[in-house]
Structure 1
Amino acid sequence: MEGVSSNRNMSYSRWSYDSTLDDEGSNLRQQKLDRQRALLEQKQKKKRQEPLMVQSNVDGRSRARRTKQCEEQAPLVESYLSSNRSTIYHGISSSMNFDEEEDDEDEVSSSSSQLNSNTRPGSATSKKSCKEAASASTPPVSDPAIDVDDLEEFTLRPAPQGITVKCRITRDKKGMDRGMYPTYYLHLEREDGKKVFLLAGRKRKKSKTSNYLISIDPTDLSRGGESFIGKLRSNLMGTKFTVYDSGQNPGKTTSSLEATNLRQELAAVCYETNVLGFKGPRKMSVIIPGMNMDHVRVAICPRNDHESLLARWQNKSTESVIELHNKTPVWNDDTQSYVLNFHGRVTQASVKNFQIIHDNDPDYIVMQFGRVAEDVFTMDYNYPMCALQAFAIALSSFDSKLACE
């Protein structure tokens, strides 16, 4: 019995020893995992603290989730305008009279904006050329769905008043040269989760300046193709961009027939140069044509550089145009970064994140753009902007601007 007891004690002690070894191994593995996790968190925290990055306001987004509201009520555009003015010239403050919105910005839900049937204004229209206006049908009052049956007409038509058009941009870097010349695709995000293709854009090769072709066909991005709908062109510094439709270049027209279809300038984008090297968010100005009494875009068809949107803006001749700016991000001491409230539509910090507003109504977001994944970005726009304008402005943000960084 004594021998049995001794053997039993030996077996107990061996079990205890082996168990200790297992515990020590587990502890070592756990410590290693904890160290790796800590390094990863430290790396992410360091990235978030980069002053150039603009983050989504997490606090504002969480408060928005807690609210029970299901509508994001953007300020309305009044359907009545002064009858003694044929064209509205001086910015959004006079071309778009917004109703006062009492809800705090942070208290708004991230769901799409929908208006009551008795307050939704009619859809705006766009002009395809300098002499022809493509009439836009007013969507049914009971159905906020956006009609994209005519893709070309839709991409040039301003967003319906009071409805935020929500889109997604994907960047395709796959292929031999797409690392240098990626293709960008714009899709409309429907309420049912389906995505509808709208536009594709790609930078032209062998061009002296940044030059993006925009098409309504994802497989045809050629300048002479039937699907070519517009382009984005920059200056030599890459700090100023102009958006054109598919009309004729006035410097290359050879007949009076071509002269009747001169290209329109749909937008100009100016990034403030950073010659002193101060770090901070980008500063950008966006100039777009104004809207007339019938909510039709004023045709800006310059025949020379002195009549362009950029020239008008630089000369402070802002009649018939609307001047917009990016909303200044707020510094957050907790995250040590700049933040904006994107209402949950932007989830990753990036220097490219921005919101476009008019100085007279900073709560009305005309357009917003931001990163949600490595090659995925959200892009939302409101009246008076159209899909082509917003997409081209987003493409300008992708372009490398060393002078602005």
Structure 2
Amino acid sequence: MEGVSSNRNMSYSRWSYDSTLDDEGSNLRQQKLDRQRALLEQKQKKKRQEPLMVQSNVDGRSRARRTKQCEEQAPLVESYLSSNRSTIYHGISSSMNFDEEEDDEDEVSSSSSQLNSNTRPGSATSKKSCKEAASASTPPISEPAIDVDDLEEFTLRPAPQGITVKCRITRDKKGMDRGMYPTYYLHLEREDGKKVFLLAGRKRKKSKTSNYLISIDPTDLSRGGESFIGKLRSNLMGTKFTVYDSGQNPGKTTSSLEATNLRQELAAVCYETNVLGFKGPRKMSVIIPGMNMDHERVAICPRNDHESLLARWQNKSTESVIELHNKTPVWNDDTQSYVLNFHGRVTQASVKNFQIIHDNDPDYIVMQFGRVAEDVFTMDYNYPMCALQAFAIALSSFDSKLACE
């Protein structure tokens, strides 16, 4: 009996020893993961200090208060309200015209002699005095509040003309697999400081290409859920992206009823390499559907790849679409970095920071996006873009294949 008892004690002590080893191994693995995460964060922080990142132009803001106050403080949208020009985007007249009144005959005749379907007027200039321009940059008290009662309708509706919709994106990396598949949340920033949830997005696992699902429910990011509102999908290289709404894939429709609900392409994004490869500021082309005379988005529902937004853009068949690009950052010798004037909305350097404009109207920022903290980014958009388009474009900039950190 003593021998049996001794064997039991030995067995128990061996089990305790093995358990201790497992605990120590688990602790060591966790410590190693923590060290790797800390090193990665330090490396990313150091990278953001490098000159090849795009920084907010602080000098530009101070210069605006001094010598170029009138020019720099001219509002991005309100300047259109004082101008009676029509803006033509590849044959879509008045697609971004913010004045409801008809043009004078003299102005129409003079502009028509200079413009064709492939050209637009130059950048907007405000005729207001410096004092008027400065006051106009502050939204008037009577400005209507942005209505988000119907979340799905709001996220698909173009921004109100004359109003910049200011939003914030937060990136959640916490959890078992969110280091690889973070969840992104888009909130509307109200004037009173409150935030209103708009959209959530997350990359799908086990997908051959980058594929982000977008939902109006932060707790339901499934493809078959009722809250699914759209998706962002990349090509194999991870350099071209297409944004879809929640309609049916034409290649998978099996009935005439489904064919009436074909998905729309809401945007396409193409990232180009420049002379510095991926080391310098990115070059982006953004293609979105044009607007009709009633300021409604033209429905682009391709039945095959040849009718897609990317195919139209590559074939230069740009009727009924708007081609936009990122604003080229300016090299600043004083700071030894590329800079853009984000008007105080961006505070940290990052290759992700960008502004989207039309080439012939560089003062009108259709969308801007940039870092303000480790996992916090601001995202502002204007007419004719909607929240879903802007959020999906921002998600494309996070994609790992772009080497964005």
The question of a shared fold, defined as TM-score above 0.5 by the shorter chain, is answered with: yes
| 1:202-235 CA-partner distances (Å, limit 9, x unpaired) | 0000000000000000000000000000000000
Q: CA, structure 1 residues 13+331, in 2 after alignment: closer, same or farther (shift >3 Å)?
A: farther
| 1:331-389 CA-partner distances (Å, limit 9, x unpaired) | 00011000000000000000000000000100000000000000000000000000000
Q: How does 1:64-75 map to 2 (within 5 A)?
A: 64=64
TM superposition shift of 1:62: 3.2
Q: Distance in 2 between matches of 1:29 and 1:236?
A: 34
TM superposition shift of 1:279: 3.4
| 1:133-172 CA-partner distances (Å, limit 9, x unpaired) | 9999999993431000000000000000010000000000
TM superposition shift of 1:260: 0.5
Whichever structure has more helix as a proportion of its residues is 2
Q: Distance in 2 between matches of 1:37 and 1:16?
A: 31
Q: Which residue of structure 2 lines up, in the alignment, with residue 39 of structure 1?
A: 39
* 3-state SS of 1:243 partner: strand
Q: CA, structure 1 residues 190+282, in 2 after alignment: closer, same or farther (shift >3 Å)?
A: same
* 3-state SS of 1:280 partner: coil
1:230 equivalent in alignment to 2:239: no
TM superposition shift of 1:13: 65
User: Which stretch of structure 1 is more off in the superposition, 292-301 or 60-69?
Assistant: 60-69
| 1:16-72 CA-partner distances (Å, limit 9, x unpaired) | 999999999999999999999999999999756624300000112234567999999
Q: Distance in 2 between matches of 1:312 and 1:172?
A: 36
Q: Distance in 2 between matches of 1:401 and 1:335?
A: 29
Q: CA, structure 1 residues 350+27, in 2 after alignment: closer, same or farther (shift >3 Å)?
A: closer
TM superposition shift of 1:261: 0.5
CA contact (8 A) 2:213 2:231 kept: yes
Q: CA, structure 1 residues 99+353, in 2 after alignment: closer, same or farther (shift >3 Å)?
A: farther
Q: CA, structure 1 residues 190+160, in 2 after alignment: closer, same or farther (shift >3 Å)?
A: same
Q: Which residue of structure 2 lines up, in the alignment, with residue 385 of structure 1?
A: 385
CA contact (8 A) 2:171 2:185 kept: yes
TM superposition shift of 1:273: 3.0
| 1:177-214 CA-partner distances (Å, limit 9, x unpaired) | 00000000000000000000000000000000000000
User: Which stretch of structure 1 is more off in the superposition, 55-64 or 326-335?
Assistant: 55-64
Q: Distance in 1 between matches of 2:384 and 2:259?
A: 27
Q: CA, structure 1 residues 102+307, in 2 after alignment: closer, same or farther (shift >3 Å)?
A: closer
Aligned residues: 405
Identity, % of aligned positions: 99
User: Which stretch of structure 1 is more off in the superposition, 102-111 or 395-404?
Assistant: 102-111
| 1:238-274 CA-partner distances (Å, limit 9, x unpaired) | 0000000000000000111110010000000000035
CA contact (8 A) 2:187 2:196 kept: yes
CA contact (8 A) 1:126 1:135 kept: no
CA contact (8 A) 2:82 2:126 kept: no
CA contact (8 A) 1:352 1:370 kept: yes
Q: Distance in 1 between matches of 2:66 and 2:21?
A: 49
Q: How does 1:60-139 map to 2 (within 5 A)?
A: 60-64=60-64, 90=90, 95-97=95-97
Q: Distance in 1 between matches of 2:131 and 2:152?
A: 17
User: Which stretch of structure 1 is more off in the superposition, 13-22 or 151-160?
Assistant: 13-22
* 3-state SS of 1:38 partner: helix
CA contact (8 A) 1:60 1:107 kept: no
Q: Distance in 2 between matches of 1:12 and 1:258?
A: 65
TM-score if structure 1 supplies the norm length? 0.73
CA contact (8 A) 2:79 2:126 kept: no
TM-score if structure 2 supplies the norm length? 0.73
CA contact (8 A) 2:87 2:97 kept: no
CA contact (8 A) 1:267 1:288 kept: yes
Q: CA, structure 1 residues 94+280, in 2 after alignment: closer, same or farther (shift >3 Å)?
A: farther
* 3-state SS of 1:285 partner: strand
CA contact (8 A) 1:371 1:378 kept: yes
Q: CA, structure 1 residues 252+92, in 2 after alignment: closer, same or farther (shift >3 Å)?
A: same
TM superposition shift of 1:97: 3.8
TM superposition shift of 1:280: 1.7
CA contact (8 A) 2:57 2:342 kept: yes
| 1:53-100 CA-partner distances (Å, limit 9, x unpaired) | 000001122345679999998778799999999997517885224689
TM superposition shift of 1:176: 0.2
TM superposition shift of 1:129: 44
Q: Distance in 2 between matches of 1:89 and 1:4?
A: 91
Q: Distance in 1 between matches of 2:291 and 2:50?
A: 39
* 3-state SS of 1:393 partner: helix
Q: Which residue of structure 1 lines up, in the alignment, with residue 400 of structure 2?
A: 400
User: Which stretch of structure 1 is more off in the superposition, 288-297 or 82-91?
Assistant: 82-91
TM superposition shift of 1:8: 77
CA contact (8 A) 2:274 2:280 kept: no
What residue ranges of structure 1 are gaps of 5+ in the alignment?
none
* 3-state SS of 1:132 partner: helix
Q: CA, structure 1 residues 194+256, in 2 after alignment: closer, same or farther (shift >3 Å)?
A: same
TM superposition shift of 1:5: 82
* 3-state SS of 1:127 partner: coil
Q: CA, structure 1 residues 148+117, in 2 after alignment: closer, same or farther (shift >3 Å)?
A: farther
